[in-house]
A and B are shown apart, each in its own frame.
Chain A
Amino acid sequence: MTKICPICGYRNRDSAEYCEKCLFGLEEVGELNPDAQDEEGLGDLGEGLGIYCPNGHWNPPDAKFCQICGVPLKQEQSSDELLLPPEEAGIEEEGRIIKTYKLVNHDNEFVVELAVHEGKVKEMLVGRKSGRNVPDIDLAVIKGSELVSRKHARFILDGNTGELFVVDVGSTNGTFVNGKKLKPEEKVKLNRGDEIIFGKTLKFILEEI
């Protein structure tokens, strides 16, 4: 298994903590055993304090640009806001909902609703909560999520076309759509009835409303 560096694309050995080629810290790319890594990873990132980008990605407090999607970050957020994702901080002003997708995990009777807002392209990170670093869709709460990386995948909700896409963001154990493993950063359009698996075992079925 390899760990792909998000900034230079080098295929590292699975045990690499830093990219062997460019020494980028890979703790954020996802681990085979996320629980064991959580404390260390967070230590490096400043005890959970940080900034969320407009797409909801967590970044270290001194970051100027989002490490995940590259958008510029505002440094002047108040300290309360620093600790909360944008939704919770109430920053978002969203338009009319044109479509809602429903992802269902039947084993756990767990449902994720994804609302597509008119004219807006929204990205939502799927992963496992780690300290104060909470992804938009936290799978840590359900059984069978041990193989989900902290930053695992991203849903893209396109408010112009109403379409839904999934992208694997370099997870350790992969994202599968209808049995096919996604390449890192490969964007796949989802349709009603598709089966999406995060990290080998956690299965969701897409049910459109």
Chain B
Amino acid sequence: MFTIKYGLNKLPEEGKTEVQRFFLMSLFGEKVEKTPRLNVAFVLDKSGSMDGAPIESLKAGLKRALDVFTENDRVSIVLFDSMIEVLLENTRLYGPDKKRVKHLISTIEAMGGTCIDEGLEAGIKELQKVKLKEYVNWIILLTDGKNEHGSNEHAIEVATQARELGISVFTIGLGKHWSPSLLEKIADITKGEMFYVEEPRELKEIFTEKSAKIRKTVAKNVEIILKLHEGVTFSDINPAFIVRPQIVALEPVLDVDQYIIDVGDIFEGENKDIMFQLFMRGNQKYIFGFKVNYYDIEGNRKEIPWKEGVPATLYEEAGEFNTIIERLSVYLQSELVNELLEGGTPEQALTLLQTMQMTATKLDDEELKTIIDQNVTKIKDGIELSNEDLIKTKMFTKTVIKDD
């Protein structure tokens, strides 16, 4: 199902009363015999701004994606503008059915406003028409705009409900007018991922790509359960993150004497890396006990049983670990930059950006460096960052390992 390796960024130091350490737990998805049954709802923006190339690429891409699904899977299509239209109710796709659905897709026309939360809610409703336990349940959400006719708070409530049901969301933003913070929140809450599509023609591939990725699920709704040993505590402010494939802040939930950490699904051939920020004694020998709960792709509850004492030893690939810490620092600093710019203190934002600049140089990441350099220049000149700048900064700082 999956293999786990783990360790500290640095050994504790005898003689110190307390040390700060990072712990990395890397889950790698191994191939499984069976293939999962998919239950996927496409929730798609058909607002007026999608008219022309975007909507045509969307239609072509959606038709192509149908080929990923077999007669064991379920597909739904929800369209939203300022209103909701369920184009395809939760359906099992037989061969002849695909033709009918392709025809339905051809009839989509772009018009109206944007109401993401209602679309998401309708998508969840469609998914729930089957027994969720028996499927891998995902929403693929696409928008090219801000949630002008909806409520962002409602979107967050709906995403939270989705997660409680074990549903995850891939959010896809097209062009330069969507809200990176809203799509990030939806993806993060549901333990999904967010993607950025610069050009409409890329829509021809992305639905197929993401559907194929869901097909590679090897374990779903994975939860890490931790019991910290005496002397070990989480950092108050940033206790845990998913750091790969994308950075997602996690909130460990305390349940009596153990922490429960929802990390989402694991895909074949992909790492899901979790990092903890801990404080421990200088002479700490063992850090915590842990077990992993998850569902296999047939919906059976499984667990990797308790490992009682995880020793305070090093993560074997120290260089990789350091890179992850540096990437995470850039992401966190970038979040603070956004807050400071919104709060009207660009001087302090500039200090952070200059630190990010140095880290990006060290990381030797040209794309990341280019966007940070550009942000520094703009802020120095007193120019406000554009929505496109915010999108690119978000995407380049959030993604630790580039998806090839």
Q: Chain A interface (Cβ within 8 Å of chain B)?
A: 7-8, 10, 13-18, 20-24, 60, 62-65, 67, 70
Contact = CB atoms under 8 A, between A and B. Distances in A.
A18 B362 contact: no
Contacts of A67: 355, 358
A15 B237 CA distance: 15
Contacts of B85: none
B131 interface: no
3 closest Cβ contacts across the A-B interface?
A23-B329, A15-B18, A65-B354
A112 to B, nearest CB: 29
A65 B277 CA distance: 29
B20 A16 contact: yes
A130 B388 CA distance: 44
B358 A23 contact: no
Given A15-B17, A20-B235, A22-B352, A65 B357 contact: yes
Nearest to A15: B18
A15 B358 CA distance: 24
A62 B333 contact: no
A60 B355 CA distance: 12
Main secondary structure of the interface of B (DSSP, over half): helix
Given A8-B336, A20-B237, A13 B329 contact: no
B21 to A, nearest CB: 9
Nearest to B351: A7
B317 interface: no
A13 B236 CA distance: 10
B252 to A, nearest CB: 15
Interface in B324-358: 325, 328-329, 332-333, 336, 350-352, 354-355, 357-358
Given A20-B277, A65-B358, 11 more contacts: A7-B333, A7-B351, A15-B18, A18-B329, A21-B237, A22-B333, A23-B325, A23-B328, A23-B332, A64-B361, A67-B358
A24 B355 contact: yes
Interface of B: 16-20, 22, 235-238, 277, 279, 325, 328-329, 332-333, 336, 350-352, 354-355, 357-358, 361-362
A60 B358 contact: yes
B296 to A, nearest CB: 35
A7 B279 contact: no
Contacts of B238: 20-21, 23
Nearest to A12: B20
A63 B356 CA distance: 11
A14 B279 CA distance: 11
Given A18-B329, A21-B332, A23-B332, A62 B361 contact: yes
Contact of B325 (A13, A18, A63): A18
A22 B332 contact: yes
B191 to A, nearest CB: 22
29 contacts: A7-B333, A7-B351, A7-B352, A8-B336, A10-B237, A13-B18, A15-B16, A15-B17, A15-B20, A15-B279, A17-B19, A18-B329, A20-B235, A20-B238, A20-B277, A21-B237, A21-B332, A22-B329, A22-B333, A22-B336, A23-B238, A23-B333, A24-B329, A24-B355, A62-B358, A62-B361, A65-B354, A65-B358, A70-B354
Given A7-B352, A18-B329, A64 B358 contact: yes
Given A23-B329, A24-B333, A63 B358 contact: yes
Contacts of A8: 333, 336, 352
Max chain B CB contacts within 10 Å: which of A8, A22, A62, A64? A22
B355 A7 contact: yes
A20 B20 contact: yes
A7 B361 CA distance: 18
A64 to B, nearest CB: 6
A101 B217 CA distance: 71
A21 B339 CA distance: 13
A15 B279 CA distance: 8
A21 B352 CA distance: 12
Nearest to B331: A23
A24 B237 CA distance: 14
A70 B201 CA distance: 43
A178 B31 CA distance: 69
A54 to B, nearest CB: 16
B390 to A, nearest CB: 18
A209 to B, nearest CB: 36
Contact of B354 (A17, A60, A64): A64
A16 B233 CA distance: 13
Nearest to A72: B354
A23 B236 CA distance: 14
Nearest to A25: B329
A128 B340 CA distance: 33
Contacts of A22: 329, 332-333, 336, 352
A103 B238 CA distance: 43
B139 to A, nearest CB: 32
Given A8-B336, A63-B358, A18 B20 contact: yes
A8 B279 CA distance: 20
Contacts of A70: 350-351, 354
Nearest to A44: B322
B324 to A, nearest CB: 10
A62 B363 CA distance: 11
A36 to B, nearest CB: 8
Contacts of B332: 21-23
Nearest to B19: A15
A13 B358 CA distance: 25
